[in-house]
Amino acid sequence: MNCNPTNLRIAAVFATMNRSATAKACIMALARQTRPPQLVMVADNCSTDDTAELLNGLADLPFELVVHAMDENRGNAGGVEVVMDLSFAAGADAVWILDDDSWPREPALEAMLTEPWNPEVVRHALQIDPSTGNFTWPQQIDDGRGGWKLAWCEGDLPHGDLIRSRISWTGALLPREVREAVGPVHGELFIRGEDEEYPWRIERAGFDQAAVRGAVMDHPGPQNVVHWHLLGKSFFFERGLADWKLYYKIRNMVWLKRKQSGDRKALGMAMAYSIAAVVIDGVDRIPLLRRAIRDGWHGRLGKMKD
């Protein structure tokens, strides 16, 4: 069912930890929107800096700001899970999922609300890396032949204001109807997994996703990315990732691939990324890789144990 989006109650949500200046910059970018959200809800993952004081001291905002103090650090996935649920409980018709360092340009939200509203489509902004002018991550878009292709920059997009896409997370505008059908974010993924698992669930539930040409947000991309092709697939590996980031990346990837495609493909994916990690970063990664693969295989999620 389509309807006029003018009166929709929109909540923007993100998680942060010990990045007070970054979180403030995101809130101020939201305050400059030509069509601001009615509610902004921030999950503060037990920051020990001045995050709570700084954000709670912001005045004259065109929306209600709620800084939700998490009981424990649950990473981006857990933080977004909580504030998304709180936002819908507060009456939001749709929730705009952000990162604290994803800063929407002024017309972004208005652009996502110009077309007649379809609550069965998850619209999302285009993420631009300010240092390159290209997409923060390559965007999967409809190739017009029943498949998907990678778009690396705005020039790769086909004509039209709404472009059929998939695997959208940061910048996604999630309608209440989709959330009710798909369920909450899987907070136990912690980080580096919710951005693939939740869009996959949206797609599996039969909902469409669409990039909005006029909605742009600045979001720095990963550094030192290695891109290669294997068995007709594109793989991306970030050289020199911190141990904890690599752990979550591999663990969640193995867990999700096993759910999606079964044991054999999950094992193949784990082997491919393990070989890449060893070749690119060195053999010192092997113990960490074994731990991540083992935990992912057995579904041991949540925060990485010391």
Residue 97 has pLDDT above 60, yes or no: yes
Does the pTM exceed 0.85? yes
- Asked if 3 and 116 touch (Cβ cutoff 8 Å), the reply is yes
Half-sphere exposure of 2 (CA within 13 A, CB side): 4
For residue 103, give the 3-state DSSP assignment.
Answer: strand
Residue 262 has pLDDT above 70, yes or no: yes
Tens digits of residue pLDDT in 134-181: 999 999 999 999 999 999 999 999 999 999 999 999 999 999 999 999
- Give counts: helices (H), strands (E), the chain: 9, 13
Please list the residues that pair with 104 across neighbouring strands.
217
Domains of the chain: 5-218 (3.90.550.10), 225-297 (no CATH)
- Asked if 11 and 90 touch (Cβ cutoff 8 Å), the reply is yes
Residue ranges in 208-262 assigned as alpha helix (H): 243-261
**Helix or strand run (H / E) with residue 76:** helix 75-89
CA separation (Å) from 84 to 81, 97, 136, 166, 276?
Answer: 5, 8, 23, 21, 35
**How many degrees, rounded to 5, is the angle at CA 13 between CA 303 and CA 54?**
90
Quick one: DSSP state of residue 219?
-
Least confident of 44-48, 60-64, 192-196, 266-270: 266-270
Mean pLDDT of 231-239: 69
Q: What phi, psi does 140 have (nearest 5°)? A: -80, 125
